Structure 1
Amino acid sequence: MASSHIHVLGLDDKNLATLRKLPGADPYRFHGLLTRAELQDAETPVPALLERAERVLARAEAEPDAIVGYWDFPVSLMVPLLCARHGLRGPDLEAVLKCEHKYWSRLEQREVMDEVPWFALVDPDEENTVPDDIPFPVWLKPVKSYASQLALRAADRKEFDAALARIRDEAGAIGDRLADVLDLVPLPEQIEAAGPRACLAEEELSGAQATVEGYSQGGRVTVYGVVDSVPYPGKSSFLRYQYPSSLPAHLVRQLEDVTKRVISRFGLDDATFCVEYFCLPEKGRFSLLEINPRHSQSHAELFELVDGIANHHCMIRLALGENPQLPFRQGRFEVAAKWFLRRFTDGTVTARAGDAEIAELEADLDGVRVRPLVDAGTRLSEAPHTHDSYSYELAHLYIGAHDEQELRRKYDQCVSALGFHVEEVP
C-alpha cells in the first residue's frame, strides 16, 4: 500500500501518539512541520514562518499528500495558505479569517442567528473609547488572540481602561502577525477600517459552557459531538472538558442546528471546527461565544475513550479526501474528561511526583493518563504555554470512567498522588 505523507504544523509527541493510533494509519507517514515553539513565537512574522515551512517541505522525502494542523493562530491560518500553494485540500483562507477575526466573525454571525451578544469595536489607541451603551461587566479582547491570552474582564470604566492599556502594551506582535494575513484577501470596508490591532468589547455571558465539534466536506456540515466546558467555581478558567455533554437533548439539537447554519454562512469547507457556547438550560437559551476553524486537540482523548477514535481522524480524512465519519459510543467508557490542575497565583514548584510514580498511578487506574506541565524548580509565570490571563496550569489529567462518580474519584486520586507543592512568590 502506498504511503501518504502528512505534514503536521506544530506536531508534538502527545498528538503524534494519538495520530498513530488512528484506524488505517499504517500507511500514513507523519512529518513535523516547524515546532510549536517556532509557530507561537510572537516575534516571528507569518511570512517568515511560511518561508521556513516551505524550506522544510522542499527537503522532504516526498511531495506532501496533506498539510494539517490542530493549533490556534497562526497555525489555523497557515494551513489554508500552504494547502493552496501545494494544490492540496484545505479550507478557504477568507472563510478561516472570518472565524478567526472576532469582529468580522460577530458581523457574519449576526446575519444568520439571533443568539449574538452585545459587542462593539474599540480602538485601543483612542481616548474615551468606551461605548455609551456598554453593559458592564464586559470582556475586552484583541480582534485576534489565542489560548484566552489578553481576554480581560472589566466590571467598570476603571477596569476597562486598565485592560485596554494592557492590551495596548502587549498585543502589538499579534496584531502585526494578523496584518500579514489580512493583506492577502479583499476585506469588507468595516474590517479594513478596524485594522489588525483593534479590540472587541463584548457583554459578559453566563451559564453552562459547551463546545460543538464537527466538520464540513463538500458543503455538507456534520456535527459529531458536544463537549461540556466546566470552569472552576467562581472562576473563568476551566476545571475540565467533559464528554458527552450533560445538556438536555433538545438544547443539544438547537446548538447543532445553529452551528450548521453559521458554518455554512462562513463558507468553511474541507475543515474541522469547534464552536463555543454559553447555555441557560432552564430557559432553553444560548449565546455563541467563539468559532474556531479547527477541531480541539484537547478533546482528542475524550472522543477516543468514549467513541473509540480520536477526533484527529476527521482532520486527516478530510485532508486526504476520504470519509471523515467517526464511530458513535464505541469506546471503552461512558464518560471522559480532560481535567486542568491549576493554581491561581504565581509561585515556584518545589515538588511533584516523578515519572516512575506517575507510571505506577496510570497502571493502577484504568483509563487514566497524566501529563505534568511543570517540573520542580519551575516558576509558573515563566513556563511556556501553561497559563491564561488568570491562572497557571500544573498538569492535564485525561480520565475515562463509567459514570461521573467514578470520574471524580479518579481525579481526586490523581491530584493526591501527583503531590504538587508550590512556594508563594514574594
Structure 2
Amino acid sequence: MLKHIFVIGLDDFNLRELETVRDSHQYSFHGLVDYDAIVNPKHYPMPEIMAEARQTLAEAEAVDAIIGHWDFPTTSMLPVLRREHGLPTPTLESVLYCESKYWGRIAQQAVIPECTPPFQGLDPYSDDPVADLQLDYPFWLKPTTAFSSYLGFRIDNEEQFRQAMATIRENIQLFAEPFQYFIDQCEHREFLPAEGDGATCLAEGLIGGSLCTLEGYVFNGEVVVYGVLDSLRGSNQVSFLSYEYPSQLPPGVQNRMAEHTHKLLEHIGLDNTPFNIEYFWDPQTDRIWLLEINPRISKSHCPIFQMATGHSHHEVAIDVALDRRPEFPRPDGRFPVAAKFMPRVYGDATVTRAPSESELEALMRLHPELVVHSHVEEDMQLSELRGQDSYSFEIADVFIGAQSHEELHSKFRDIMQVLDYRFSEVVATNYG
C-alpha cells in the first residue's frame, strides 16, 4: 500500500534525493508548508505556519509519516505535528535541548564534561553585558538558537564584544520569537532548564582541531552511528569549505565520539529520530570537543551518501518516521569518496560573471555525477544573499565523487576553473 509522506519545505532538489531511496515507488511525497516560508524567510510567524501545516494534514487522504531536513523551526515543528497524529516522534523537550546551544551545553556538562568547553548564558538586552561576562577573551559568541553560523562571532576584546552584542540584539528576534512559541507548546516544561530562552546568547571558550560530523539515528532507544564525515573550514575557523566522506580521522577517535554520543542522547531522552552531531578532535592533545547536536539528517550530506552508497540518507529519516529500523548504508555507490564543496568570497562584492547553463551542461558531461547549485548571478551583490555566516558569502554548492580524497580536490579545482566566477573588488565585512 502506498505510504503518504509529508515533507516540510520540500523543494525539487530534495524531492529528487528522496526518490533515490530504497522502495521509493511505495511512497507518495507531499510538500508541507512552502519552501520560502521555512528556508531563510524575513521572519517566522509560527501560529500561521503551524495552522497551514495542520490544515494540509487534516485534508490529506492519509498521513503515514512527517519528515523534514531543514534546521529550526522545521525540527521543532516535527514533534508537535507528529504527536497530534499519533506518529513516532522524539519529545519536543528533547528536541529543544538540541535547538538551544545553551541548554545543550548544560546537558553536555552533566554527562560528558570532558567534551564541554567553559560557557555561560548572556542576556543581549542587558544594560551592561561586559559586567555580566565571566569568560576571558578570546571566546565565541552566538545566539542560543540559529543556524549556518548566523550571528556567530569570535570575540578577542571588549570592543568586539560590545559591537557583536549590539548586532545580535538587533537581529536575535528572528529566532527568539519562534523558539518561545515552541517552549509554550511543551507538555513538560519542567524537563528543561529554568534559565535561558530563545533570546539568550551563548559565550563559550575556543575549541578547535579537526571537525567532523557523525550521522546517525535513535530507534526505540537504540543509538546508531552509520557515517562520519570531515568538515573542512577556512582560516577563520568558521566558514565551511567542504564536507568529505568518509572521515579520515583515526577509527579509535571516531569510536570515542560515538560513545559520547550514546551518553548524551540517552541523557536528554532523544528517541525515534535521525541526528547529526559535530565534534572537534585536537590531535595535539587527543582531546575531543562537542560542538552541537542537530535532531535531523544533514541535507548537505544527502548527495554525498547517494554518490558513495547509492542512496540518499533521506532513507534513514523515512524508515524511522515509519517506525522501521533503517538498514543504511549499503555499498552500492559509484565512488568510494564524495564531497560537497562550498566556494566562498570573504567580503562583499558585485558578481561580474557567473557560469552559463551551457557551461554547466558541459561540465556534467565530463563529470556525470556532478551537482552544482549556483547561488549567485551576474550583477548581484553578495550581501543580498540570506542565511550567510558573519565572515563570508557562499557562492555555490558543488557535489562530486572520486576514487580518493586527492582526486576529489583535484577535480574541484578543475571544476572551479571552468565555472570561472568573477567579482568586483571585494570589500571586507565588519568581522572579516
User: Shared fold (TM-score greater than 0.5)?
Assistant: yes
The equivalent of 1:154 in structure 2 is 155
CA displacement, residues 8-33 of structure 1 (integer Å, 9 cap, x when unaligned): 00111111101011111001111111
**1:314 aligns with one of 313, 316, 326:** 316
Question: Cα distance, 1:239 vs. partner?
Answer: 0.7
The equivalent of 1:14 in structure 2 is 13
Percent of paired sites with the same residue: 37
SS class of match (1:194): coil
Contact 2:120 2:134 survives alignment (8 Å): no
SS class of match (2:342): strand
Question: Cα distance, 1:55 vs. partner?
Answer: 2.0
Contact 1:362 1:370 survives alignment (8 Å): no
CA displacement, residues 337-389 of structure 1 (integer Å, 9 cap, x when unaligned): 1000111111221212111210110110243222211121222111334x221
Separation in 1, partners of 2:334, 2:244: 15
> What amino acid sits opposite 1:168 in the alignment?
R
The equivalent of 1:110 in structure 2 is 109
The equivalent of 2:23 in structure 1 is 24
Tell me whether 1:400 sits opposite 2:394 in the alignment: no
SS class of match (1:337): strand
Separation in 2, partners of 1:302, 1:129: 42
> What amino acid sits opposite 1:77 in the alignment?
S
CA displacement, residues 34-84 of structure 1 (integer Å, 9 cap, x when unaligned): 122112425232222100111222333x12111110000000000111111
SS class of match (2:229): strand
The equivalent of 1:252 in structure 2 is 254
Closer, same or farther in 2 for the Cα pair 1:384/1:173, shift >3 Å? closer
Question: Cα distance, 1:120 vs. partner?
Answer: 0.5
SS class of match (2:167): helix
Deviates more, 1:212-221 or 1:98-107: 98-107
The equivalent of 2:207 in structure 1 is 205
Deviates more, 1:123-132 or 1:230-239: 123-132
SS class of match (1:253): helix
Separation in 1, partners of 2:180, 2:229: 33
Q: Can you give the 5+ residue segments of structure 2 that lack an aligned partner in the other structure?
A: 428-432
Question: Cα distance, 1:234 vs. partner?
Answer: 4.1
**1:349 aligns with one of 326, 351, 365:** 351
Separation in 2, partners of 1:189, 1:270: 18
Question: Cα distance, 1:395 vs. partner?
Answer: 0.8
Contact 1:251 1:281 survives alignment (8 Å): no
Separation in 2, partners of 1:256, 1:342: 31
Tell me whether 1:128 sits opposite 2:131 in the alignment: no
The equivalent of 1:375 in structure 2 is 377
SS class of match (2:25): coil
Contact 2:21 2:313 survives alignment (8 Å): no
SS class of match (1:228): strand
Separation in 1, partners of 2:314, 2:133: 45
Closer, same or farther in 2 for the Cα pair 1:420/1:221, shift >3 Å? same
> What amino acid sits opposite 1:128 in the alignment?
D
The equivalent of 2:37 in structure 1 is 38
Question: Cα distance, 1:419 vs. partner?
Answer: 1.2
Q: Can you give the 5+ residue segments of structure 1 that lack an aligned partner in the other structure?
A: none
Separation in 2, partners of 1:241, 1:314: 19
Separation in 2, partners of 1:176, 1:404: 43
Separation in 2, partners of 1:219, 1:34: 30
The equivalent of 2:62 in structure 1 is 63
SS class of match (1:110): helix
Closer, same or farther in 2 for the Cα pair 1:165/1:134, shift >3 Å? same
SS class of match (2:63): coil
**TM-score (norm: length of structure 2):** 0.94
The equivalent of 1:73 in structure 2 is 72
Contact 2:97 2:192 survives alignment (8 Å): no
The equivalent of 2:89 in structure 1 is 90
SS class of match (2:78): helix
The equivalent of 2:430 in structure 1 is none
- Please give the residue correspondences for 1:213-292 in structure 2 after superposition, counting only pairs within 5 Å: 213-292=215-294
Contact 1:247 1:281 survives alignment (8 Å): no
Contact 1:96 1:268 survives alignment (8 Å): yes
The equivalent of 1:119 in structure 2 is 119
Question: Cα distance, 1:132 vs. partner?
Answer: 5.6
Separation in 2, partners of 1:67, 1:361: 36
The equivalent of 2:411 in structure 1 is 410
> What amino acid sits opposite 1:32 in the alignment?
G
Contact 1:277 1:288 survives alignment (8 Å): yes
Separation in 2, partners of 1:36, 1:153: 31
* Count of aligned pairs between the two proteins: 423
Separation in 2, partners of 1:233, 1:383: 22
